[in-house]
Structure 1
């Protein structure tokens, strides 16, 4: 008489508490990525006391979590609690709130629509960069991260928000977003800590969140009184959220606006910040990039049509997103019992998709720790697993801002490198700081040397 046997179960690699905690305390982003690469893409279960999430990095597993079985892996759980305190229920949420927000906003972030904004964005960026001439003439140093954020924010608020946010307001808003993005680092590392207990970063987070509300709510109310304008986010949100009695759901508009402001500016600004360290460490890449920009734009103004001709710049940006993806983890919570790669995972478990790990797996990337834009050369036509490169996530929750990034970032870089030679004055090993996005802990101080174009 035969006896039925259950199929073999694959066990995840378990990283015990005494090994996981010291590494995560030391350098969370880098060490988490190493945990995944050391396991060769196998699922790793992290023992962090009462919290034991699964680290997901193999492209097959990423595809299951973010795409094919996405409805079973939702944006809920303790990792989302810190973010929800500032973004509320919106485009970064789940369920009906997410569906309605995405339906409203998606037409404003298609490839065609963002391309149509290109010339307006080019003019704004060029004007912002002209303001840096004083630094070039006087030799004063520029804080790279601050300047990239300033330039990107100006482009975002004028193009996406129709100028409803003044420059003064934007300059007050940007640092509050940066504070919110970075001050949640402790709660992301120790997500089980109760909110009744203040932890490092809470005070700064709550103060910044309050200031954001003090800026955003009056802006929405004024826009409601002024009436709609065409082709900008605030009007689209107000019109869509208008109730039958003529009142708008201001809380929902606020959540949508805060979420999309962060998404539209954060990825681009942070990627551009990492770039200057990369170009310092790779002078050959810097030289080739400058040569292409000089050939394409010559002495004329940089227009959106030039972006398609800057093929090497596109390669540099793709490699930049591979090495320094904005999202260090993409958290999900399982709805029902499931299996990933043969590993049984119970309902309610937390899984952490790690782009930092996926982009460094040697099975899918040759020399993964090297910065090499040539791997993206069109003539190489390399076939990669579709989910081995996920800088903007994937599936139904893929980042709406990805098309905007590939218009805005090239315009910023081309304008800067055609006008100045940027010299990093404090080269050093940069430490990625965990938060809503990854940014370097250290400041990057740049000296701007005028080129012939400026003279």
Structure 2
């Protein structure tokens, strides 16, 4: 037998990843729906870092170790593409924007957009970002004066949306219009997971929320295209959209069409709004349960800034603020799973990955892996100090993805989070509301069910 024939037989002999047992027709779906993340963690403990989840109508290979991230999203990324119901649902809103596009088109768009997120551009956006944060914080004053319970999760959604509106459109959007954009985007993001489930249903079937979803998209399109046209008539570059308008592909000499600009603008909106808002809400949930952490944050901010407005150059000295945010994003990563579809047969950990198979890099399982993280359930921002990070697998922390598809707005998001933490620490004491423990809600992202409720108290300098 030829050498090639032996290799084929050897590859055929590879076992499939162990399957999580379930019941006829629906597989492991009942257990998954009732226990969610606990179910997946129990399956990892029983079957190992790679296993197959029977979902009745299909199955998926679950990956839960940083080495799997390295394999699927970095070393062999060409073998895995963004196919399946989730990505199709996202494309109904994001079009062919950076998070969902593929191949040469994705490379071209990434090449054109990347300069907008270089450090010098981020420095230029800092003042605009802090102004938007302070504007939002002014709305916190009534709750601080009265001591009434305050939903900080909802407040962060509004704040990060305000920051993104300012960063994306600059002066190109009126206040009322910005508020309506924020409301429409919030609904769209909430609907996406439902859209994934209902996308295959016939058009004539009345699906709850579908009409409102489409109307929200139409409204966003109108606003974005109007701002694009306005931007084409101006030359200033005071916002991200202006930078994209004037971006030129170095290889082809082309600029983006209106449709491409629209897709990239809404994609950046979603990426820049959701992760930061959710991460900050969980950070305060954790700090109000560990008050010593908030005191450390306040001490750092007082020593670095006093009461002055933070600038980009201060971020390096606000290390504990960044560590708090990173730890919150580890424990409650908003983007808790990254699905791909295998385009060809592959091998991973000695198991066969068939072609056409749904493969899920489960960020949440990686972030809670006891072989990667010491006491993974414990809130410990100091685990992100340089000393304790040394030797850790570089894919162990991945709330922004990994490899060439790493979220382009990662540094923007972390910079925004540091600024927000600093401005709050300068102004308020924040404490837990007894009996109002935040509960995990698993939808498009891992959010706090019914909010994160705190007491605010003005902080004397």
Structure 2 runs not aligned, ≥5 long: none
Q: Does the alignment pair 1:99 with 2:103?
A: no
Q: Does the alignment pair 1:280 with 2:296?
A: no
Q: 1:11 aligns with which of 16, 20, 24?
A: 16
Distance 1:31 1:178, change over 3 A: farther
Aligned to 2:97, the other structure's residue is in SS state: coil
Q: 2:78 aligns with which of 55, 71, 74?
A: 71
Task: Between 361-370 and 124-133, report the one with greater CA deviation.
Answer: 124-133
Task: Between 48-57 and 195-204, report the one with greater CA deviation.
Answer: 195-204
Where do 1:11-160 residues align within 5 Å?
11-18=16-23, 20-41=28-49, 43-92=50-99, 93-160=101-168
Residues 69-126 of structure 1 deviation map (CA, whole Å, 9 limit, x = unaligned): 1111111222211101000101112124322321221111134432443244233323
Deviation at 1:27, TM superposition (A): 4.8
Where do 1:218-257 residues align within 5 Å?
218-224=226-232, 226-230=233-237, 232-240=239-247, 249-257=257-265
Structure 1 runs not aligned, ≥5 long: none
TM-score, normalized by length of structure 2? 0.88
Pick 1 or 2: higher relative contact order, CA cutoff 8 A, min separation 6: 1
Deviation at 1:287, TM superposition (A): 2.2
Deviation at 1:424, TM superposition (A): 3.2
Distance 1:235 1:259, change over 3 A: same
What CA distance in whole angstroms lies between the structure 1 residues aligned with 2:171 and 2:74? 36
Distance 1:209 1:191, change over 3 A: same
Match of 1:409 in 2: 417
What CA distance in whole angstroms lies between the structure 2 residues aligned with 1:151 and 1:351? 35
Match of 1:434 in 2: 443
Where do 1:322-401 residues align within 5 Å?
322-401=330-409
Q: Does the alignment pair 1:420 with 2:428?
A: yes
Residues 310-329 of structure 1 deviation map (CA, whole Å, 9 limit, x = unaligned): 22112211111111112111
Deviation at 1:138, TM superposition (A): 3.4
Name the count of aligned residue pairs.
Answer: 447
Q: Calculate the aligned-residue CA RMSD, in Å.
A: 2.8
- Asked if the contact 2:198–2:207 (Cα under 8 Å) also holds between the matched residues in 1, the reply is no
Distance 1:314 1:105, change over 3 A: same
What CA distance in whole angstroms lies between the structure 1 residues aligned with 2:173 and 2:47? 47
Distance 1:329 1:432, change over 3 A: same
